[in-house]
Amino acid sequence: RRGSGESGRERLSVVEAAEERLMMGLRLGEGVELARLGALTGLSTRAAGLEELGLVEVRDGRLRATAKG
């Protein structure tokens, strides 16, 4: 058998790609580079609210989930 493990591919819009990058990046200890998320309007406002709740932190241009988040 030869396969790729993929069931299919779909083309993502710029916003969808940024959303995927955000969700995948928050799973990593280093977080995600904010500059790579420019297509997500209102992200800084939402991130600030989550930071106030202690769920994420913004440091060195990166957004990271905290232990609580």
Q: What is the pLDDT of residues 9-36, one digit of tens each?
A: 889 999 999 999 999 999 999 999 988 8
Q: Does residue 1 surpass a pLDDT of 70?
A: no
Average pLDDT over residues 36-46: 85
**Cβ-proximal residues to 54 (8 Å cutoff; 6+ apart), any chain:** 66, 68, 69
* Mean pLDDT estimate for the chain: 89
Q: Are 42 and 48 spatial neighbours (Cβ–Cβ below 8 Å)?
A: no
Residue 51 contacts by C-beta under 8 Å, 6 or more apart in sequence? Answer: 57, 58
Name the residue with higher pLDDT: 8 or 16. Answer: 16
pTM: 0.76
- pLDDT confidence of residue 28: 93
Of residues 53, 18, 52, the one with CA closest to residue 36: 18
- What is the C-alpha to C-alpha distance for residues 13 and 40, in angstroms, rounded to an integer? 11
